[in-house]
Chains A and B, each alone.
Chain A
Amino acid sequence: MNTSADSRRFNPVLNTDAPAIKVTDLVRDFGRFQLGPLDLSIPAGYVTGLVGANGAGKTTLLKLLLGLQTADAGNMSLLGQPVGDNNLAVREDIGVVFDAPFVLPDWTISAAGKALAPFYSRWDTALFEALLNRFHLTQSAQVKSLSRGESTKLMLALAMSHQPRLLLLDEPTSGLDPATRRDLLDLFAEFMAADANHTILFSTHLTSDLERIADHIRVLSHGRLVEAGTLDEVVERYAIVRGPRRALTPKNRTAICGLHERTDIFDGLIAAADTSGFGLDVVIDPATLDDIVVHLSTAEAEVSL
């Protein structure tokens, strides 16, 4: 059956210097929460982790990129094309997975595949079936009967079967057991290895997954971008400082980001280059990505980028 999807040709001209996602001066104001102003660039050909606490604005940003929300200001582009209802061809190149399935719960897995296939010119039924086999999903099973992990695997199979260039993943591993998470991370790694132009934007608050797979990191806090860079760059920029509260002085307090004080001890994030000014009774360790996200999320300052 020839469909209109067949008339949307895949554009083979790839500008690998152009970012996969670019956001400029983006603002979305909900009243009680505002995302932005946000300037953000996701490089093509890499896995970028979009990390932040719950309510930081990660899902809002993804919804804006998909056109589910309308920005109050700013510009957005996906794979070099402005985000909008008229740029349909770019959606052929994007696969999306959210933390819950977005197909009818009463459908069978097979019916879900058949329902979506006609919309994509590059839908590969053999690939869809191969992914289902890999995930041990039965085609006759109903979507509502699937477990949390199985639902995510189904959504991944649906997202990858039309051979996208860009995967947008919103909390895909949230709530999954470690073995399932490892399986999914392996699949993401294979996706990246299959083509140098493949890109993943992986939104999550589980930093351990990003430490395994991400090349780049973007940290959102209270709707603002507070950190950006490669994973190694971001981690090496910071150190974690811990010690007794009596060691805090007005001067070294200002150097600490996201200061967390308890009864008689404190911990906080400092710039790796800023480790002087603390006494011998203070311990300074390399920061993990989790340390950075936690402390930046509780800090007010935005890193100028």
Chain B
Amino acid sequence: MTDTMGFARFELTSFRVNAWPMILMSALVAVMTWVSSRQEPIGLAAVVPLLPVFFVTYPFLTDERGQHDLLYATLPIRRQTVVLGRYIFFLAIQLASGILALGLVAATAAATGRSLDPRLAALATMASLAAGSVLLAIQLPLLFWLGFAKSRWIALLPMLVFLTPVALMQLPGGQVRFDSFDPTALPPDFLLAAGGALLSVSAVAWVVSALVSVRVYAGRRF
């Protein structure tokens, strides 16, 4: 386990080198989303946890730029450690984005004076985290299997998923349906069950994805 955590730290070291452009781009996307959703704080809860998905290819691009696959072969670590360490890295980034989302929602609600149901914010954040988990769960095994050069098209996938609800919101009646949604009318048990289901979906997605990635990366030739 310490090898895996060591590799996760290694990933963070690699990520930090070029973090600023990604952070700035993330901030830009978040602000644009907030503005386009008529400054509804809940928009941030839906978008911010999805941002790590846009950078899923970065570690694999780094591997190819730095010939890190050769480096990993010389280090006293298993290929499984590389996979699990990278998953822990993405999991940590995703959880951090979820916490950040809740913080931004609370901050913008307070700053704009808009009311916000914390249960709705939590549910939206968890739904977004679950969606992000599923997207990462699909992308990561493909990237471990093919590498960045052969699978860079995968970076388009989150864009399509992200733009779909935004497009739906622009359809006639889309915003009205959202405005008319009253979370306080939902029974607490339903919210609890929904939250549990979203967490379960996320957990299953991560575990299955990691197992597949370990398998495909173990057999990869360089």
Chain A interface residues toward B at CB < 8 A: 3-5, 8, 63, 66-70, 85-86, 88-89, 91-92, 94-96, 98, 100-107, 111, 114-116, 118-120, 159
**Digit string of B65-102 for contact with A (CB within 8 Å is 1, else 0)?**
11111110111111110000000000000000000000
B178 at the interface (CB under 8 A from A): no
B115 at the interface (CB under 8 A from A): no
* Distance of A38 Cα from B89 Cα, bound (Å): 41
* Distance of A3 Cα from B18 Cα, bound (Å): 26
B222 A85 Cβ-Cβ under 8 A: no
Using A66-B74, A119-B77 as known contacts, say yes or no to A104 and B221 having CB atoms under 8 A apart.
Answer: no
A102 B67 Cβ-Cβ under 8 A: yes
> Which residues of A have CB within 8 Å of B70?
66, 68, 96, 98, 102
> Which residues of A have CB within 8 Å of B73?
66-68, 96
Shortest C-beta distance, A93 to chain B (Å), equals 9
Using A69-B222, A102-B70, A105-B65 as known contacts, say yes or no to A88 and B78 having CB atoms under 8 A apart.
Answer: yes
Shortest C-beta distance, B5 to chain A (Å), equals 9
Q: Would you call the interface of chain B mostly helix, strand, loop, or mixed?
A: helix
Choose among A5, A88, A98, A104 the residue that contacts B68 (Cβ–Cβ < 8 A). Answer: A104
A68 B222 Cβ-Cβ under 8 A: yes
* Distance of A105 Cα from B64 Cα, bound (Å): 11
25 contacts between A and B (CB under 8 A): A3-B2, A4-B6, A5-B6, A66-B70, A67-B73, A68-B70, A68-B73, A68-B221, A89-B76, A91-B74, A91-B75, A92-B76, A96-B74, A100-B67, A101-B67, A102-B74, A103-B66, A104-B17, A104-B62, A104-B68, A107-B14, A111-B13, A118-B9, A120-B76, A159-B74
Chain A residue at smallest Cβ distance from B10: A115
> Which residues of A have CB within 8 Å of B65?
104-105
> Which residues of B have CB within 8 Å of A106?
17-18
> Which residues of B have CB within 8 Å of A114?
13
* Distance of A150 Cα from B66 Cα, bound (Å): 16
Shortest C-beta distance, A189 to chain B (Å), equals 23
A107 B74 Cβ-Cβ under 8 A: no
* Distance of A85 Cα from B217 Cα, bound (Å): 12
Chain A residue at smallest Cβ distance from B73: A66
Choose among A4, A98, A101, A115 the residue that contacts B2 (Cβ–Cβ < 8 A). Answer: A4
> Which residues of B have CB within 8 Å of A69?
221-222
> Which residues in chain B, 30-85, are within 8 Å of chain A measured between CB atoms?
62, 65-71, 73-80
* Distance of A100 Cα from B14 Cα, bound (Å): 19
Chain B residue at smallest Cβ distance from A88: B76
**Digit string of B121-137 for contact with A (CB within 8 Å is 1, else 0)?**
00000000000000000
* Distance of A270 Cα from B140 Cα, bound (Å): 57
A116 B66 Cβ-Cβ under 8 A: no
